[in-house]
Amino acid sequence: MEKLVTQFLEYLVYQRNYSHYTITNYQKDLLIYQIYLKKEDLDYLKIEYTDLRFYLMYLKEEKKEKNSSICRNLSALRTFYNYLMANSLIDNNPFNYISGPKKEKRLPRYFEYNELEQLFQAPDIHTPYGQRDSLILEMLYATGVRVGELVNIKLKDMNEEERTILILGKGNKERIVHYGEYAKDILEIYLKDGYPKINKNNLEYLFINNKGTKLTERGIRDILNRIIKKTTLHKKISPHMLRHTFATHLLNEGCDILSVQKLLGHESIDATQIYTHVTTDHLKEVYFHSFPRAKINHSKELNKENTNLK
């Protein structure tokens, strides 16, 4: 099974264009599964539905996995068994008949507008790496791309006149993303000044590290961690948090959810629906603080609650 797992993960990287983050998690999930099979003396090619029921119990009760982790584990194995079917090693996929536990609802974390301003002011754009770091922030926020998509942007993918970038997303699906004036301005500075200085090996990629090679996903995360330490913000930061911010701010400003879905590169609208919970709360807050009669009633309710607490 180990050899097939290696081939499967390579298939996801080179043919399906899965991110490094997803591959790492799938690798962990498959290892958990292999350990369980060995423990129970089960043949992975002869797994049945009843076996999977006990596997779910193992994940929940022995491994103490969260519902979201269990669902991801099952998704990894479902994908793996689809790969086995495609290679005629099994006749059907038993994981198609089992569903994971209901996921815990966790709203996406995002930055407010004033917090973003602090982030954008942190890099020193008078230095080559400061220009690069500033562009990373602007591009993540302006386009909503995934970190794996960002590090793979090449100069040939960019149309500076139209301010668009051709992105190769999950499953090797292409989409066009747009960027605005702020990203355009720092891009021009970076390409004229910083980029020629740090691109020692004349690579075709837009983002280069201090060794002169392509910047990695881990490198982007390290850069973001350094940037937030220069601010007064007490939040953890990740590339995906800027993607969440992109989607949330679009919806807050009136963009329709189908357009946001396309811009994010989501296959299903379900993946985009989570942002409506965030924006609904935002609109509720705006309503109670802006609409005169709602504002009065809301104040009365708050005073009543405070009186009850005394």
Catalytic residue positions, numbered: 146, 170, 240, 243, 266, 275
Written as one string, the DSSP assignment of 35-104 is HHHHHHT--GGG--HHHHHHHHHIIIIIS---HHHHHHHHHHHHHHHHHHHHTTS-SS-GGGG---PPPP
Q: Up-side HSE of residue 107: CA atoms within 13 Å toward CB?
A: 13
Q: What is the dihedral of CA 209, 214, 219, 220, to 10 degrees?
A: 100
In whole angstroms, how far apart are CA 42 and each of 1, 37, 47, 61, 92? 12, 5, 7, 19, 17
| Pair 63, 77: CB distance under 8 Å | no
Handedness of CA 119, 231, 131, 226 (dihedral sign): negative
How are strands ordered across the β-sheet holding 164-168?
A: 158-159, 164-168, 174-178
| Pair 125, 192: CB distance under 8 Å | no
Residues in CB range of 153: below 8 A, 6 or more apart: 139, 145, 165, 167, 205, 206, 207
- 229 burial (CB, 10 Å; 0-12 / 13-18 / 19+) is exposed
